[in-house]
Amino acid sequence: MLAYQHAYHAGNFADVHKHLTLHAVTRHLLRKASPVTYIDTHAGRGVYSLDAAETRKLQEYRHGVAPLWEARTRLQGASPLLDAWLDALGEAQQGKQHLDRYPGSPWWLARGLRAHDRLQLFELHPGEHAELEQQTLPANASRTYGDGLAGLLKRLPVTTPRLCVLIDPSYERKPEYLEVAATLIEVARKARHALVMVWYPLLPAARHQAMLDSLREAGLRKLWRSELVRQAPGDSRHGMYGSGMLLLNPPWGLDAALGEALDAALPLLGDQARHHGEWWVEE
């Protein structure tokens, strides 16, 4: 039984990190005409009302997207990626001037979808999937109620020349870290040029380390990671102190574009916030 619901955390600093990275990647992919299949293995409900009871409970967006939204005029010009991301966020408000909705990964992926691209979304929580079904998405986007990692492997090879995957689990179960690693190894074997993004939490227990180690041990190459640390691990007790994005086959220039955007955003995400990007395994 799945307990996690992303609505409690929508728009927090980890979402900002994840969706800025996602936006940087899709902007890069859209520079070329050749079709892309996007697969989002853990889609969530698609768009989150910041007024929903779950989101109001923790109000994590107040320390994530909200300060960036409030400072958007002042931030303009600091980073082309951040400018584009904040403009897109404005579109998601559907004419409202205040921050009313926070868009999840299906929205960010669907936004740049062209007629010859494909988008496949997986979600296993029945309630979240029912909400996802209510979202307006282009005709070339499909939604599947089912396990995203198994679904991803079943879809390979895809029919388009390019494949871009987001793996964004809730890590409710400890084995999920190694299940993600095993899936990534299989994707790299079956679709060598796939661009895969994996989000992971930075927690005091550091369970993500086993996932990273097993990928290196399996011989995968071209793995780059970006980590956004909001506070010292000891300060967060059992909570998430940072957010990680691991990319297989990252696009050229991502490091610089994301670094510039995060440099501008970080002072608004906390006094101790910092980020770094580095190769986990080089080419």
Binding mask 76-115 for ligand SAM (x = CB under 6 A): ----------------------------xx----------
Is 148 within any annotated ligand binding site? yes
Angle at 135 between CA 131 and CA 141, to 5 degrees: 115
Of 15, 87, 168, 255, catalytic: 168
User: Based on CB atoms, which residue is closest to ligand SAM, 147 or 186?
Assistant: 147
User: Based on CB atoms, which residue is closest to ligand SAM, 117 or 168?
Assistant: 168
| Choice from 117, 123, 131, 227 touching ligand SAM (CB under 6 A) | 123
Q: Which of 240, 257, 266 is nearest to 274 (CA)?
A: 266
Instruction: Establish if 148 lies at the interface with ligand SAM (CB under 6 A).
Output: yes
Instruction: Establish if 23 lies at the interface with ligand SAM (CB under 6 A).
Output: no
User: Which two tokens mark 39?
Assistant: 């697969």
Binding span for ligand SAM by CB under 6 A among 54-62, 68-76, 168-176, 251-259: 168-176
For the segment 170-199, give every residue that binds ligand SAM (CB under 6 A).
170
| Choice from 118, 125, 155, 230 touching ligand SAM (CB under 6 A) | 125
Is 19 within any annotated ligand binding site? yes
For the segment 27-66, give every residue that binds ligand SAM (CB under 6 A).
41-44
Distance CA 124, CA 45 (A): 11
User: Based on CB atoms, which residue is closest to ligand SAM, 151 or 281?
Assistant: 151
Instruction: Establish if 13 lies at the interface with ligand SAM (CB under 6 A).
Output: no
Instruction: Establish if 122 lies at the interface with ligand SAM (CB under 6 A).
Output: yes
Residue with tokens 């793995």: 223
Instruction: Establish if 210 lies at the interface with ligand SAM (CB under 6 A).
Output: no
Distance CA 126, CA 166 (A): 20
| Choice from 35, 72, 88, 147 touching ligand SAM (CB under 6 A) | 147
What DSSP line would sit under the chain, residue for residue? -----GGGTTTSHHHHHHHHHHHHHHHHHTTS-S-EEEEESS-TTSEEETTSHHHHHH-GGGGTHHHHHHTHHHHTTS-HHHHHHHHHHHHTTTT-SS--EEE-HHHHHHHT--TT-EEEEEE--HHHHHHHHHS---TTEEEEES-HHHHHHHTPSPSSSEEEEEE-----STTHHHHHHHHHHHHHHH-TT-EEEEEEEE-TT-THHHHHHHHHHTT---EEEEEEE-S-GGGGTTS--EEEEEEESPPTTHHHHHHHHHHHHGGGT-TT-EEEEEEEE--
Q: How far is the CB of 38 from ligand SAM (least distance, A)?
A: 12
Binding span for ligand SAM by CB under 6 A among 56-64, 166-174, 207-215, 248-256: 166-174
168 is annotated as an active-site residue: yes
Residues lying near ligand SAM in the complex (CB under 6 A) are found at: 2, 4, 6, 18, 41-44, 104-105, 122-125, 128, 147-148, 168-170
Q: Which residues are catalytic?
A: 168
Binding residues for S-adenosyl-L-methionine: 19, 42, 105, 123, 147-148, 168
